[in-house]
């Protein structure tokens, strides 16, 4: 009897060891790839941020925190580009979520060709960001002029990409247009998950359509709000492709995003030390913003 128990324990131990070994063998390749692609370059970037290096010399010159001091002393465009990125992200998040929620509410109603319109709104999202940028660059520079010949409306003759103030809103417009379909899909999924019996109970209690939406539906969309706001926040903070295709940061530095500034510093100016320092600082900024946003949205979901 004792021998059978010991044999059973040994068998279970062998099975646990086998499962542990299988887990390690299956996850090890992924861990190695992630380390090669993400963690090792991040650590190397941290080292290069403390050096002066042009990307070619064999031995980077260690200069300590001089790169960071130069950033905060205003000797680079990093702080200016950071200000633009923050403004762009705020407007992008607000416009994307308001429009997406409004359109999702309309598209969840039963009417002919509802699925067709959902597909139409989603098409820009599956297109390349660079292609979207070139399409809208053609629209702003030539397409609106052709429309003006038919409909002589003053705003069609504005310098959409040449005026620093208007160029900012042009970039936001294209960004919202490109990503709107994705957020619409997320909000539609959230709206369809709202229990019908809850809405029926609100109707029986005498709630109007607007009261049902603002007091019943919106609170139940907490998870959808969290996902959409977080996704739009990250997409706004990493904006690069659309600006590169539309304005290349111009006119002047009016539409210069932080990601473009880092790219310009490292790969155009061949100043990998300064570029790495800016990337490290921007990583910290993005991490703080996203964590605070998730904490704030999570607390609201709990309160609801």
Q: How far apart are CA 286 and CA 279, in angstroms?
A: 10
pLDDT digits (tens, 9 = 90+) for 1-42: 555 666 666 677 777 888 888 888 888 888 889 888 888 988
Mean pLDDT of 166-172: 92
The CATH H-level (homologous superfamily) assignment of domain 66-303 is MetI-like (1.10.3720.10)
Residue 138 CA to residue 243 CA, distance in Å, equals 14
Q: How confident is the model at residue 302 (pLDDT cuts 50, 70, 90)?
A: very low
- Look at residue 208 and tell me whether its pLDDT is greater than 90: no
Kindly list the domain boundaries of the chain, sorted by start residue. 2-48, 66-303
pLDDT of 158 higher than 50: yes
Helices within the chain (DSSP H only) = 2-34, 40-48, 66-72, 78-107, 114-126, 129-138, 144-150, 164-192, 196-204, 209-212, 218-220, 222-237, 241-246, 258-263, 272-303
Q: Give the chain's radius of gyration (CA, Å).
A: 26
Strand partners, 51: 62
- The answer, yes or no, to whether residue 257 has pLDDT greater than 80, is yes
157: left (phi over 0), alpha (psi -120 to 50) or beta: alpha
- Copy the structure tokens of residue 252: 């002047």
| pLDDT score at 303 | 44
Instruction: With a cut of 50, say whether residue 50 has pLDDT above it.
Output: yes
- The answer to whether the CB of 215 falls within 8 A of the CB of 304 is no
Compute how many other C-beta atoms are within 10 angstroms of the C-beta atom of residue 189: 14
pLDDT(235) > 60: yes
Which residues face 61 on adjacent strands? 52
pTM attached to this predicted model:
0.85
């Amino acid at each position: 009897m004792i021998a059978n128990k010991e044999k059973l324990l040994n068998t279970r131990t062998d099975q646990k060891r086998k499962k542990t070994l299988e887990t390690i063998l299956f996850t090890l390749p992924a861990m190695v790839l992630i380390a090669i692609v993400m963690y090792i370059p991040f650590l190397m970037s941290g080292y290069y941020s403390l050096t002066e290096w042009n990307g070619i010399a064999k031995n980077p010159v260690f200069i300590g925190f001089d790169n960071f001091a130069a950033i905060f002393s205003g000797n680079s465009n990093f702080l200016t580009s950071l200000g633009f990125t923050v403004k762009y992200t705020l407007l992008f998040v607000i416009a994307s979520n308001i429009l997406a929620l409004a359109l999702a509410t309309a598209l969840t109603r039963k009417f002919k060709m509802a699925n067709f319109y959902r597909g139409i709104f989603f098409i820009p999202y599956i297109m390349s960001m660079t292609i979207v940028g070139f399409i809208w660059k053609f629209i702003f520079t030539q397409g609106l002029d052709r429309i003006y010949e038919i409909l002589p409306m003053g705003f069609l003759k504005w310098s959409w990409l040449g005026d620093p103030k208007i160029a900012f809103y042009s970039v936001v417009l294209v960004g919202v247009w490109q990503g709107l379909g994705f957020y619409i899909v997320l909000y539609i999924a959230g709206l369809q998950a709202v229990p019908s019996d809850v809405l029926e109970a609100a109707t029986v209690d005498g709630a109007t359509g607007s009261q049902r939406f603002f007091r019943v539906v919106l609170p139940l969309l907490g998870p959808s709000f969290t996902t959409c706001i977080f996704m739009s926040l990250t997409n706004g903070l990493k904006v690069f492709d659309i600006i590169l295709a539309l304005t290349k940061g111009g006119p002047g530095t009016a539409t210069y995003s932080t990601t473009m500034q880092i790219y310009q510093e490292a790969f155009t100016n061949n100043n990998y030390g300064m570029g790495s320092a800016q990337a490290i600082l921007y990583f910290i900024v993005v991490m703080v913003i996203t964590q605070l946003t998730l904490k704030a949205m999570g607390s609201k979901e709990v309160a609801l």
